[in-house]
Every structure is written in structure tokens, then in C-alpha cells.
């Protein structure tokens, strides 16, 4: 028997904003679009964009994720509307995941503010699991000042439904023997993966609750939804889910390198290779899952004598744009190839001739491997972060 925990932070973006601006505590706070809110609306400007999330106080007015900001403002003219500051939420998310990692054998992050933890080997029974969850919640509150909701069950489907059962600051434990009883009265949309479309089809055949879905003949579901999805619905409704908590192979870095057509030290030529390599790395950053962010950019250079050298720069915050990648890589390569006293060095090389260059260049602190041609260059990004799939935006 497994013990699976699902944790979801409460009104995440908005809770982070309130933490950063404590005077907002207890107020209806909306995070979304480009911000603006009261002043923008009063001056007659149209508020653009949608609500990313909002505080629980704002939810009392009927505001929720994905509705237009203009509608939200109608529902609650006093709401404080703040712009999305993705890089801050991302940093908080990374820190929360680091905390969680210590509490599980396996952890699967499934969004910016949620994760599954397999805690089977950490707890002896369901009571211990509850205490374990309390400890996790307290640790996150202590370290990050944020509340979360946790669900615990014998599999991921149950844990996920349970974490949503009491919110905010909830904790719901569904023991194996209580699974059917817990699921039965819930509306089918509570099962992860059942969206409005499936919900409507199920309603059309008279199925509204999980109890009804669980007792529906699986062949009927298969004929409606196909074999794979039909069986999945049937199993989920009966509380069965054998899927593992999958520790996603978190990518540590991405790189691309190229041997030059001809060995050279000509920066203009090398920079053309850098453009190409950076574009390739950047393309793969975007392809990777929902997209990745980077903090560190590194370059690699191989000289005539096959010696390999690298230089790296770590930015303070995450970036995702090609421009920053190219600019950083070019700065690094130019420092590296030309050195601090670049122009002087170049002249000296021209006059001194190939033999003497290396030693003199080195002694004078000019570029690395002075006099030697470069035969290969590479660009690498590391210290990666993910772009939130719900948000679908790049910082």
C-alpha cells in the first residue's frame, strides 16, 4: 500500500503579493494582466487581460482565475489589481520545491504551486501521515510565510482530489478503506482530467456524481470515450490509480557546440557561430516541456591544441529571451578571446609574430590561448527553471 501526498499552495500568486505587501492582508487582491485596477478604471481606461488568480477575499465577490479583469473590476470595484510578476513566483516555487524534496523519496512537481510526494516509506500509518503533512505545512509557513492545502490518499487521483477538498489551509486524509465513501458524492469534474467537455457528455447520459460514474458499465464508457480514456474514467471513479509519482528528470543544462569551418580568432566570425548556437539552444529551451528559463550562460572554446576552456556568467534572476542569451555569450567570448587589453594585444600579436604571442599574451593578461586559433565554440545554459504551464507566458 502506498501513501501519496498532494500539496497545492493557496491562491499562490496573490499570496506571494500579499506577503510582499503586508498592508494588502485581508483585502480583495487580484493578480492578472498588466495590473492597473482602480486608477486605470477610474480614468476611463479599459483594463485588459484576465485574472490569473485572486485572494480568497476577492473570491467572495465571485472573482476567479481566467475571467476578464474588466469583469472582475465590475464584481468588486474596490479590488486591488496587481500585475503578474512571474519571476518572483517562480523563485518562491523553486524554494518551496526544495523544502518538499526533503520530505519525500520521490516528488513530482505538476505546476508552479503543486506537487505529488510519495511518502510511503516515511510514515507507518494514516495518523502519522497526517502529522507529517502538518509538519510540511508548518515548515513552508515558517520559511516562506505561505499557507498550503494538502491531500493524502492511497494514490495520486485521491490525493489530488483531497488537497482541493478543504481550502485554503486545508488538510484531508483519505484512508484506503474510506475511498469509495469519499468519492461517491463528489461531482465528476473533481476527478483530475475531467473537463467541461467530458462533464457535459457524462451529464447527457445521466452521470453527474462519481458514484454514478463508478457504477456505469465500463463498456458504455469505452464506446463513448474510447478504450483508454473510458477505462481511465472507470478506474478513477472506483478510486483505482496505479500511476507512480514520477520524479521528472529535471534538466540541469542545455548546450550546443560547433566545430568552426576554419580555425580563427576573428571575433566577427566567431560571433556568427555564437548567434547560431544561441538560437539553437534557445529553440530547445522553448520546446522543453512548457518552456525553460535560465540564469547561467556559459561558453566553451577549444583551441588548436585541443585544450578546452569555459567561462560562465550567472544572472541574478531567470531569463528566457534570446537577446539576453546572445548578449551574455558574446560578452563572455569577447572577454575570453580578446582579453581585457584587447586592442593593445591585437596590435602586439601582429607585430610580435606567432611564436612569441602565447607567452607574451598570457603574461600581459591578454586573451586566453593568444596566438592559437579557435577550432570549436559552444554555448550552454544552466540553472534552469520552468515556465508555469497554467500561465503559459514567458517572463
Q: Any contact of residue 155 with ligand TTP (CB under 6 A)?
A: no
Compute the distance between CA of residue 163 and CA of residue 170 in angstroms, rounded to an integer: 7
Q: Any contact of residue 17 with ligand TTP (CB under 6 A)?
A: no
Q: Which is nearer to ligand TTP, 144 or 357 (CB)?
A: 144
- 336 contacts which partner out of ligand TTP, Mg ion, none, CB within 5 to 8 A by kind? none
Q: Which is nearer to ligand TTP, 169 or 253 (CB)?
A: 169
Q: Which of 3, 5, 9, 267 binds Mg ion (CB under 5 A)?
A: 9
What's the CA angle centered on 374, arms 373 and 379, to 5 degrees?
A: 165
Q: Any contact of residue 8 with Mg ion (CB under 5 A)?
A: yes
Compute the distance between CA of residue 327 and CA of residue 131 in angstroms, rounded to an integer: 50
Compute the distance between CA of residue 198 and CA of residue 179 in angstroms, rounded to an integer: 23
C-alpha cell at 336: 575570453
Compute the distance between CA of residue 303 and CA of residue 334 in angstroms, rounded to an integer: 15
Compute the distance between CA of residue 152 and CA of residue 161 in angstroms, rounded to an integer: 9
- 366 contacts which partner out of Mg ion, ligand TTP, none, CB within 5 to 8 A by kind? none
DSSP of 143-196, one letter per residue?
HH---EEEEEESSHHHHHHHHHHS-SS-EEE--GGGHHHHHTTSBGGGSTT--H
Return the residues of window 77-116 that contact ligand TTP according to CB under 6 A.
112-114
Q: Which of 10, 17, 175, 241 binds ligand TTP (CB under 6 A)?
A: 10
Helix (H) or strand (E) holding 344: helix 342-352
Q: Which of 41, 53, 58, 336 binds ligand TTP (CB under 6 A)?
A: 53
Quote the distance between the C-alpha of residue 239 and its chain's center: 29
Active site includes 114? yes
Beta bridge partners of 35: none
Q: Any contact of residue 373 with ligand TTP (CB under 6 A)?
A: no
Nearest approach in angstroms of CB 316 to Mg ion is: 27
Q: Which of 9, 79, 81, 285 binds ligand TTP (CB under 6 A)?
A: 9
Q: Any contact of residue 388 with Mg ion (CB under 5 A)?
A: no
With CB under 6 A as the contact rule, which of the stretches 123-131, 180-188, 203-211, 385-393 interacts with ligand TTP?
A: 385-393
Q: Any contact of residue 52 with ligand TTP (CB under 6 A)?
A: yes
Q: Any contact of residue 391 with ligand TTP (CB under 6 A)?
A: yes
Nearest approach in angstroms of CB 96 to Mg ion is: 11
Report the phi/psi class of residue 5: left, alpha or beta, with left for phi > 0 and alpha for psi in -120 to 50: beta
Distances (CA, A) of 325 to 254, 268, 311, 376: 12, 17, 14, 19
- 53 contacts which partner out of Mg ion, ligand TTP, none, CB within 5 to 8 A by kind? ligand TTP
- 258 contacts which partner out of ligand TTP, Mg ion, none, CB within 5 to 8 A by kind? none
Q: Which residues contact 271 (CB under 8 A, 6 or more apart)?
A: 330, 333
With CB under 6 A as the contact rule, which of the stretches 11-19, 231-239, 245-253, 292-300 interacts with ligand TTP?
A: 11-19
Q: Which is nearer to ligand TTP, 202 or 387 (CB)?
A: 387
Nearest approach in angstroms of CB 76 to ligand TTP is: 16
DSSP conformation class of 22: G
Strands (E) across 83-124 are located at 106-111, 114-118
Q: Which is nearer to Mg ion, 115 or 179 (CB)?
A: 115
Name which of 175, 154, 156 is nearest 116 in CA terms. Answer: 156
Q: Any contact of residue 256 with ligand TTP (CB under 6 A)?
A: no
Compute the distance between CA of residue 262 and CA of residue 278 in angstroms, rounded to an integer: 20
Q: Any contact of residue 65 with ligand TTP (CB under 6 A)?
A: yes
Return the residues of window 100-159 that contact Mg ion according to CB under 5 A.
113
- 318 contacts which partner out of Mg ion, ligand TTP, none, CB within 5 to 8 A by kind? none
The residues annotated as belonging to the active site are 114
Binding residues vs ligand TTP (CB under 6 A): 8-13, 52-53, 65-66, 112-114, 167-168, 388, 390-391
Amino acid at each position: 500500500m502506498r501513501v501519496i501526498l498532494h500539496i497545492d499552495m493557496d491562491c499562490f500568486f496573490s499570496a506571494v503579493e500579499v506577503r510582499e505587501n503586508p498592508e494588502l492582508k485581508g483585502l480583495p487582491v487580484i493578480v492578472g494582466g498588466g495590473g492597473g485596477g482602480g486608477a486605470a478604471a477610474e480614468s476611463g481606461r479599459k483594463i485588459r487581460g484576465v485574472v490569473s488568480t485572486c485572494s480568497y477575499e476577492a473570491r467572495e465577490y465571485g472573482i476567479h482565475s481566467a475571467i476578464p479583469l474588466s469583469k472582475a473590476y465590475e464584481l468588486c470595484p474596490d479590488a486591488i489589481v496587481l500585475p503578474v510578476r512571474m519571476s518572483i513566483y517562480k523563485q518562491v516555487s523553486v524554494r518551496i520545491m526544495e523544502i518538499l524534496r526533503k520530505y519525500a523519496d520521490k516528488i513530482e512537481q505538476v505546476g508552479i504551486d503543486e506537487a505529488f510526494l510519495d511518502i510511503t516509506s516515511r510514515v507507518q500509518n494514516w495518523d502519522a501521515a497526517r502529522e507529517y503533512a502538518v509538519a510540511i505545512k508548518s515548515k513552508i509557513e515558517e520559511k516562506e510565510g505561505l499557507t498550503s492545502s494538502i491531500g493524502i490518499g492511497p494514490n495520486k487521483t485521491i490525493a489530488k482530489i483531497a488537497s482541493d477538498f478543504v481550502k485554503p489551509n486545508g488538510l484531508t486524509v483519505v484512508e484506503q478503506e474510506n475511498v469509495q465513501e469519499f468519492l461517491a458524492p463528489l461531482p465528476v469534474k473533481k476527478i483530475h482530467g475531467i473537463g467541461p467537455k467530458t462533464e457535459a457528455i457524462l451529464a447527457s447520459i445521466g452521470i453527474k456524481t462519481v458514484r454514478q460514474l463508478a457504477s456505469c458499465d465500463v463498456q458504455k464508457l469505452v464506446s463513448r470515450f474510447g478504450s483508454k480514456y473510458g477505462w481511465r474514467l472507470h478506474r478513477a471513479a472506483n478510486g483505482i490509480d496505479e500511476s507512480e509519482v514520477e520524479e521528472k528528470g529535471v534538466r540541469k543544462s542545455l548546450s550546443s557546440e560547433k566545430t568552426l569551418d576554419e580555425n580563427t580568432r576573428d571575433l566577427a566570425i566567431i560571433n556568427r557561430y555564437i548567434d547560431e548556437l544561441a538560437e539553437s539552444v534557445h529553440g530547445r529551451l522553448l520546446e522543453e516541456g512548457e518552456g525553460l528559463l535560465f540564469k547561467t550562460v556559459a561558453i566553451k572554446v577549444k583551441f588548436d591544441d585541443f585544450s578546452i576552456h569555459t567561462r560562465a556568467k550567472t544572472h541574478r534572476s531567470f531569463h528566457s529571451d534570446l537577446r539576453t542569451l546572445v548578449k551574455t555569450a558574446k560578452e563572455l567570448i569577447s572577454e575570453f578571446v580578446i582579453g581585457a587589453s584587447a586592442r593593445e594585444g591585437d596590435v602586439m600579436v601582429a607585430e610580435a609574430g606567432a611564436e612569441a604571442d602565447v607567452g607574451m599574451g598570457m603574461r600581459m593578461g591578454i586573451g586566453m590561448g593568444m596566438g592559437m586559433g579557435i577550432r570549436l565554440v559552444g554555448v550552454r545554459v544552466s540553472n534552469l527553471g520552468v515556465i508555469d504551464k497554467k500561465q503559459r507566458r514567458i517572463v
